[in-house]
Structure 1
């Protein structure tokens, strides 16, 4: 976590590295043991309970988060989140940082196994700079593929949202890399996938910075019905 002067932009970049079937492309051995020290969080779900290193679990309306051995991005384990869109369920791993935060870097591997019904959607990531300001990355069932969007929620204002330029793939491991840089009242979000230079989403922000900064990773379902199952692995926050 770092601090930047007023007027710095936000870059929210998602880089995808994929495999098509369960277990294919999984790396050998635990991820975190091979990393350099200094992360505020490194979670590969290979040791201890699924919430190890996180501050809390947010589970509501039947949402669950469990350690699984399949699918994984790095062996032996990953986290699998299950949530029903019929129940508008929540299943989040939550990390709280001391604020005000003007720079945060979050990276993780993501794999959507099932995405509810055709009109179902879910928030996968929530960054909360204060009680009155949130930035989210959202995924929806778009038939053969996954639609997505980036959104900003500011207290007292209508939400702003930008739809992704191209769809995401089902049942494919995707590396998500997020670098957020912003200051009070300003900022910008850029979402990229697959290491491409072109942006999937570009979204201006109007940040309101608080004394804490929340990172919530998992699934919060909205709209439509059916069941969501999303696997996560190799999470870092710094």
Structure 2
């Protein structure tokens, strides 16, 4: 509807998990990075939990790059890119966009997230007590829940879930209108799901996810 990226055209924000999700992760990643290089003011890339070397080693992207390009150096270059991608974006001072979700720690601000060191993101390491790593893991891995508060995530391994009160507090404290996240096929099996009294929306654009979901 809006055409390809172009100077002065529509703004495109891709919200993570570009790879590990089918047979064409390499092509998707190269295309998105090429668009970012050519149209840096029109194309924006948020990091997802699969933009991480630990995930790529288990879910296919590492082997995909090695089989298609036979280059471990290219793998290292992608890892360097992943570790430097933004973990969130704020659109029009109103909409907070993040791949996973919100935080088990209260009082988090977008400005604080800008200062989080970029690194490989392994949820199992949250037990180290590093608060910056915990913020990074929550941004890339957390999921919403119906109950208030925060809890251990069903994904295990140091992940978390967050309730509607967490979303309301985050939005109000930061002068925002809503949060958009991705990370899960919506329970509606459609491209989006509205949650937490309309303050949180899951947007998921991968049709027939991994060729199996039927969404």
The structure richer in strand per residue is: 1
Q: Same fold (TM over 0.5)?
A: no
Higher relative contact order (CA 8 A, sep 6+): 1
The structure richer in helix per residue is: 2
